[in-house]
Structure formats: C-alpha cells, structure tokens
A and B are shown apart, each in its own frame.
Chain A
C-alpha cells in the first residue's frame, strides 16, 4: 500500500537556525497538509496545499513558516529562526481531495528538537 514518507525522522537544531522538513506524499494525491503535535498534546493543523498554493492555514502558520512543492514529488515545510517552543512532532499528510471528503494518510512524522 502506498504511504507518505517523511525525512528526517529526527532533527536536532540550534535555536535561531532554519530547518526544512521533507515529505513525499502519495503519488496520486492532490492535497497536502502539515500538522504539529507537541508531546502529549493534540494534533494542530498548520497548513493545507493544493494546486501549488496554500488553500488553508491556521493562526500558528505565521511568517516563520513556509511550504513549497519544489518538484513533482516533494512537499517541504521550512521553519525560520527556530524557537524552543517549535520543538514538536511534525506530521505530513496527503489526500485525494480536500474538505475531509477523502481520508488523510499520515507519514510517521519528524521529531524536531530545538536546543
């Protein structure tokens, strides 16, 4: 069964540095998502992406964050000037269509640790 893959599985970065988290969505999916989950807390929606542009974003997704689909397979989340509170698990997901009409398939996540 096709799956969403995320790299790296764990990223350790000094505060103030930039990080890029990478995702390869399922190949025929059209909608892509990033979520954040601070340890032991709920899943927080960050952004959804369709047709090479952001379709929805939450209040968490401020100017510190950006997303990109640099080629036909990768979907990246860039976090600039990282802060201690950015430490969390970041999940990428993809779906065939948006609005909850099709299930989202999640990757295993990237654990981001800011020192």
Chain B
C-alpha cells in the first residue's frame, strides 16, 4: 500500500510568495531525497536527509526531516519563475532497498 503521502498536489503562488510541500509516512524512514522536475524534463536530485531533525538549506530552499523521521518538508522562500516545476520526495526504508516516490507537488507561478 501507499507508504508516503505528498501534499498538496498543486500550489499556485504569486512570484515572490513562499511555497511548501510536505511528505508524510506512517513508517520510520531511513532517508528521504527530494527531486525537482521541470516541465518536459527529467527529475533532478536536490538533497538527501538522513538524520532525525535535520535541516539543510540551499539558497532559498530549506529542507527539514522530522524528529521521528516520518515526515519532511521542502520550503521555498520568495519564489521565482525558475522554481516552476514538480517537486517529488523519495523515501528509503530500513527494511529493504525499495525506494518509494511521492505523488509530487506542482509549483505554478501565477502571472
């Protein structure tokens, strides 16, 4: 069954507003990866989170891993048109090497 829930499915923002996507699991995770897919492109790796409570930043992007290692978020401050695309989380489990992808959150910048 589904082991990761990613929300929201879409987020419309004005340029300059913030954006956040969340991934939640009922299972304790080994790690979580975040990818970005531009329209018409392929997924591109952004970051990996491994430690409980970890926070990593890449310029305007902030990635968090929950204390219980069951949820994660990606926050973009002051969105720009170059941020447009779909953001996916991918979870790794301790029990096996299976990697499970979230459904993605599509960031749409309103004109």
Residues on A facing B (Cβ under 8 Å): 33, 35, 42-45, 48, 55-56, 91, 93, 98-101, 103-109
Contact = CB atoms under 8 A, between A and B. Distances in A.
B96 A101 contact: no
B101 A42 contact: yes
Contact of A43 (B30, B88, B92, B96): B88
Contacts of B109: none
A35 B88 CA distance: 14
Given A43-B88, A106-B43, A98 B48 contact: no
A77 to B, nearest CB: 15
A44 B98 CA distance: 12
Contact of B97 (A56, A93, A104): A56
A61 to B, nearest CB: 12
Give 6 nearest A-B pairs by CB, closest first. A100-B92, A103-B45, A106-B42, A99-B97, A42-B103, A98-B97
Nearest to A31: B97
Given A99-B97, A101-B31, 8 more contacts: A43-B88, A44-B101, A45-B100, A98-B97, A99-B30, A100-B30, A100-B32, A100-B33
A100 B100 CA distance: 10
A107 B42 contact: yes
A104 B103 CA distance: 18
A108 B38 CA distance: 12
A42 B87 CA distance: 10
B68 interface: no
Contacts of A109: 42
Given A43-B43, A106-B42, A106-B43, A101 B101 contact: no
A22 to B, nearest CB: 16
